[in-house]
A and B are shown apart, each in its own frame.
Chain A
Amino acid sequence: MPDLHELGDLTRRMRYDVLDMTGKWGGHPSSCFSAVEIVTALFFGGILRYRPDDPWWPERDRFILSKGHAAPLLYSVLVRAGYAPVEDLQRFRQRGSGLHGHPIQGTFPGVEMTSGSLGQGLSFGLGQVLAGRLSSLDYRVFVLMGDGECEEGQVWEAAMAAAHYRADRLIAIVDHNKYQQTGPISREMSLAPLANKWREFGWNVAEADGHDLGAVIAALRGMAPTPNPSPEHRGGEPRPSVLIAHTIKGKGVSFMEADYTFHGRPLAPEQDVRARAEIARGDEW
């Protein structure tokens, strides 16, 4: 297990990155904040195999950001992982830069897929898993989705197909922050029972506190097939897996956590100062 204290520092740095980018140029800060620990676990918790100096290494594990509005978080984790200089974040949403408002495949090292119309990542990831199988490569594909995104029909088309094709190298992570743009999911379009829906579609399901780094890392380790053993050696029927990560929208900043209307709203300057102070004190999470 990696040093969780160090990872905690990284999560603070990435929240600052998100505030830096969205404060100047707009975006969805609270949708980024709910997923900070998830991407930290993936990139720095020993889950993803990747080579920042060879971003398109064919055997790499793929990370797909299906909830494309969390683009600032994606750019942040990529630069913190060494894919590009940290200064590149200043080019977010700037004319001629590859740091688009929503990710565009191949325009920035490590951006695997174009997203920004919800619901498309799981299908794309399934295609990559099936391609890997055909190429005899053992990489895994991790798809980070929003919970509101699970209202899209395509998600369930992909869920059905992934189970049918026994795509055990496909791992979905639902950032279950319980809010969509216009309000609480339970009020706007209920997803319950979310875990059972996935289970009934033939998936392995795990749930964890999505802000507990140790718990997220342990859950992902438990569900992602390790390199190479063939499915029959791992026992049971090969199935895709989903981690439902229970999260808090705007996590780390009390007034964002308490107000879902921060969805597409960057902070005002005085809010930014308060937010940074709270993030700095964030050890007690």
Chain B
Amino acid sequence: MVNGKMTALGGRAGLKPGETQLRKAFGDALLELAQANPRVVVLDGDLGNSTGSHTVRQAFPERFFNMGIAEANLVGVGAGFAACGYLPFITSFPSFLFCNAFDQIRLSIAVSGLKAVLVGSHSGLSTGREGPSPMSIEDFALAGGLPSLSILVPCDAASMRRAVFAAAEYPGPVYIRSSREPLPHVYDVDAPFTIGVANRVREGCDVTIIACGIMVPVSLDAAAMLAGEGIEARVLDMHTLRPLDTEAITKAAIETGAIVTAEEHLLQGGMGANVARIVTTTHPVPMRTVGIQDRYAGSASPFELMEDLGLTPDDVAAATREAVAAKR
């Protein structure tokens, strides 16, 4: 991090800075999908200009429904659309969506096995100075607590676009975690994106860093730092948290002998806990988990908060050194 500036992210790894906000990439992809698929409808919780979904409001007003500031009804109406063969994209912030409408997501969507796509923008710490109220550092745990709900965490604009299309094709309900920030290009123009299949974005044989979302560029920065010390880290973009790529995780354990996870989420109930569940079963190796330690954040810029909460490349590098040391 240089002066807490966004542009520093991914710099060490040589990533091209992102110019497109993730939410904008989402809005563009959603519009593209809506043009191609007349069954797509958008149900919005009065945040369409924040989440990016207003692209559809402008192009297809008859398929865009602002359900107001009432998330329980928002999700229920979406489920009703799904039951009639439509493909609802339900857009809000994850904190509002999962905290206000968890019961409706559970019963009307997950238990029912209805196909809907939930999209939470401004996830993680990206609301920054707004403070902890609208932040979502619990959404992996909440979404993860609902059997069958797939969880997608794109790490840049290209993977966001692919995530939207992959979510539309997926047979079950999906949650896509979006964000306010432009993120550096982990991928060039297009990204490989198969739900449930992690992308190996850096080769390495000493340790594997498994990351999602913004922590992918953070981990690539960490890996670049570690390379200077003679530690070659493999980096996996674990863009799907459910179904989790058991094969890639097991392979990483076998081939690199140590695993570090990195997520912009509480450690409790997050990705690391689920990776550990697999590692301990298939091929136990030393592990370290980078994430938020059982606390809420303050009000500051997202990058200041990442420093406060231990989510910088330095933090990931330190955890990785520990994991490598534990191998011996």
**In angstroms, how far is the closest chain B Cβ from the Cβ of A15?**
28
CB closest chain-B residue, reference A165: B65
| With A114-B108, A119-B72, A134-B62: A127-B77 Cβ-Cβ less than 8 Å | yes
Query: How far is it, in angstroms, between the C-alpha of A130 and the C-alpha of B67 when the chains are bound?
Result: 12
Interface size class of A (residues with CB under 8 A): 20 to 34
A153 at the interface (CB under 8 A from B): yes
Chain A, 110-133, contact with B by CB distance < 8 Å: what is the 0/1 string? 001111110110111111111110
A104 at the interface (CB under 8 A from B): yes
Give every chain A residue within 8 A of B73 (Cβ-Cβ).
123, 126, 154, 157-158, 160-161
B84: contacting residue among A120, A128, A157, CB under 8 A: A128
Query: How far is it, in angstroms, between the C-alpha of A205 and the C-alpha of B319 when the chains are bound?
Result: 64
Interchain Cβ contacts within 8 Å, total number: 107
Query: How far is it, in angstroms, between the C-alpha of A165 and the C-alpha of B67 when the chains are bound?
Result: 9
Max chain B Cβ within 10 angstroms of own Cβ: one of A114, A123, A127: A127
Contact A120 B76 (CB under 8 A): yes
B83: contacting residue among A112, A115, A117, CB under 8 A: A112
Contact B78 A160 (CB under 8 A): no
B243 at the interface (CB under 8 A from A): no
Identify whether the interface residues of A are mostly helix, strand, loop, or mixed: helix
Query: How far is it, in angstroms, between the C-alpha of A153 and the C-alpha of B77 when the chains are bound?
Result: 15
Contact A154 B108 (CB under 8 A): no
Query: How far is it, in angstroms, between the C-alpha of A161 and the C-alpha of B78 when the chains are bound?
Result: 13
B80: contacting residue among A106, A119, A127, A164, CB under 8 A: A127
| With A127-B76, A157-B72: A113-B108 Cβ-Cβ less than 8 Å | yes
Give every chain B residue within 8 A of A261 (Cβ-Cβ).
none
B63 at the interface (CB under 8 A from A): yes
| With A126-B76, A153-B72, A154-B73: A131-B107 Cβ-Cβ less than 8 Å | no
Query: Which residues of B from 228 to 253 have beta carbons under 8 Å from A?
Result: none
Query: How far is it, in angstroms, between the C-alpha of A124 and the C-alpha of B75 when the chains are bound?
Result: 8
CB closest chain-A residue, reference B67: A161
B261 at the interface (CB under 8 A from A): no
Contact B111 A114 (CB under 8 A): yes
Give every chain B residue within 8 A of A230 (Cβ-Cβ).
none
Give every chain B residue within 8 A of A134 (Cβ-Cβ).
41, 62-63, 86
Chain B residues at the A interface, C-beta cutoff of 8 Å: 41, 62-63, 65, 67-68, 70, 72-73, 75-86, 88, 103-104, 106-108, 111-114
In order of increasing CB-CB distance, the 6 nearest A-B pairs are: A127-B80, A123-B76, A131-B84, A157-B73, A157-B70, A127-B77
26 CB-based A-B contacts, threshold 8 Å: A105-B83, A105-B113, A105-B114, A112-B83, A113-B83, A114-B107, A114-B112, A117-B103, A117-B106, A120-B103, A123-B75, A123-B80, A123-B108, A124-B79, A126-B77, A127-B82, A128-B80, A132-B84, A153-B72, A154-B70, A157-B68, A157-B73, A158-B77, A160-B68, A161-B77, A165-B65
